[in-house]
Chain A
Amino acid sequence: MMCDACGCQVPDAERDTRTVDVHESLLAANLEQARENRRHFEKMGAVAINLISGPGSGKTTLLEQTIRHLRKKIKIAVIEGDIETERDAARIKAQGAPAVQITTGGACHLDARLVHKGLHQLQHENETAKFDIIFIENVGNLVCPATFDLGEHERIVLISVPEGSDKPAKYPKAFTSSQCFLITKTDLLPYFDFSMDEAKEEALKLNQGLKIMELSATAGDGFDAWLSYLQHLTKK
């Protein structure tokens, strides 16, 4: 054993080695904040939904259409997560729903602390408003967001038809940690080699309890089932 300062030999007897048992989760800080967020959502009387998908699978379009359809029945707000730009929040606001944008400035996922900040900003900007559903649109990424609990009640993973039906098998964590799987852009099925059976089978293999829906937000197919699912979540 050598001394760090001068390199001289330190007799073993002078060494005082200790082994400390820790057993603490390094994800604990996020989990604790997530639990706090969940309480916060519940106090507001809102159901929180975390949307996870790769970039361009249609999360924002889904939200635009959902707000348009449910405007009179359910009060929706959106916390938007992106690496850069306020574009998504602007699209949601254009539909008349409150939205706040969190720009992560490079981070590949939202964490519970960022969502907590977004939630306060949302309340600050809409002081008297009541919300039934608060959507959290995660950063477009099918990998990292799956590891971080944001305090949501329901996690929904989206795969669009152009992405391919092999995605559940390739990105298992997004599917094992979600309660619902949405297959989007089904109006494009005639133009892509997408096997509905493969996508569903692989997803169910990973998570037997997964609720699966297929829809096209622009053409409207399957949208009624999606809307009644949301209404069921809010018990309205």
Chain B
Amino acid sequence: MHEFSLAQGLFSQLLQLAETHRAQKIITVRVEIGKLSGIVVDSFSFGFEILAMENKLTKNAILEITEIEPVKTCIDCGGIVPFNEQLSGRCPECGSMKFTLTGGDDLILTQVEME
């Protein structure tokens, strides 16, 4: 439910960027959404579409989302295991069940293409 307000935050930043760079049009917006961020990609895209239509500057803007996985580090052997809920639990190297998770919890505006 907060995806829409996050999309609103994105738009105020986009409008600012367009002003700074004297752009007439925003073409592509690239964001990274962490898989642990709690942000639903579809809802965020939907919010983006609705807000994009409201402004001439963003009317045809395309949103590109890259989903970022957190890094799962095994506490016992130090091995790095890709985060995957299907394999929930064990380190493929040493069988340990102890992990720390880092990253994958943010929403980042990485790049904007404008003209």
Write the residues of chain A forming the contact surface with B, with a CB cutoff of 8 angstroms.
4, 15-27, 29, 107-109, 143-144, 146-147, 172-173, 176-177, 204-205, 207-208
Query: Cα distance A23–B31 when bound, in Å?
Result: 9
B75 at the interface (CB under 8 A from A): yes
Of the four ranges (under 10, 10 to 19, 20 to 34, 35 or more), the interface on chain B belongs to: 35 or more
Closest to B33 in A: A26
Flag if B111 contacts A25 (CB, 8 Å). no
Count contacts between A and B, CB distance < 8 Å.
Answer: 84
Flag if A18 contacts B111 (CB, 8 Å). no
Q: A17-B115, A107-B2, A108-B1 are in contact. Are A26 and B99 (CB under 8 A)?
A: no
Query: Cα distance A153–B101 when bound, in Å?
Result: 19
**B residues 78-115 touching A (CB-CB < 8 Å):** 88-89, 97-101, 105-115
Query: Cα distance A17–B25 when bound, in Å?
Result: 9
Flag if A23 contacts B109 (CB, 8 Å). yes
Flag if A26 contacts B111 (CB, 8 Å). no
Flag if B21 contacts A147 (CB, 8 Å). no
B77 at the interface (CB under 8 A from A): no
The 8 A CB mask of B20-36 against A (1 = contact, 0 = none) is 01010101000100001
Flag if B13 contacts A26 (CB, 8 Å). yes
User: A26 touches which one: B9, B88, B89, B97 (CB < 8 A)?
Assistant: B9
Q: A109-B2, A144-B2 are in contact. Are A20 and B108 (CB under 8 A)?
A: no
Flag if B109 contacts A22 (CB, 8 Å). yes
Query: Cα distance A172–B84 when bound, in Å?
Result: 13
Flag if A173 contacts B1 (CB, 8 Å). no
Query: Cα distance A16–B115 when bound, in Å?
Result: 5
Q: A107-B2, A108-B2 are in contact. Are A26 and B109 (CB under 8 A)?
A: yes
Flag if B10 contacts A26 (CB, 8 Å). yes
Query: Cα distance A4–B98 when bound, in Å?
Result: 56
Q: A176-B36, A205-B97 are in contact. Are A4 and B25 (CB under 8 A)?
A: yes
**From residue A89, how far is it (CB to closest CB) to chain B in Å?**
23
Residues of B near A108 (CB, < 8 A) are 1-2
**From residue A35, how far is it (CB to closest CB) to chain B in Å?**
15
User: A208 touches which one: B13, B31, B75, B88 (CB < 8 A)?
Assistant: B75
Closest to B98 in A: A208
B37 at the interface (CB under 8 A from A): yes
Residues of B near A27 (CB, < 8 A) are 6, 37, 106-107
Flag if B115 contacts A26 (CB, 8 Å). no
Query: Cα distance A26–B17 when bound, in Å?
Result: 14
Residues of B near A146 (CB, < 8 A) are 38
Q: A26-B9, A109-B2, A205-B88 are in contact. Are A21 and B36 (CB under 8 A)?
A: no
Q: A17-B27, A208-B100 are in contact. Are A26 and B38 (CB under 8 A)?
A: no
List, sorted by A's number, 16 A–B pairs whose CB atoms are closer than 8 Å: A16-B115, A18-B113, A19-B112, A21-B111, A22-B109, A23-B109, A24-B109, A26-B107, A26-B108, A29-B9, A109-B2, A143-B38, A147-B2, A177-B105, A205-B97, A208-B99
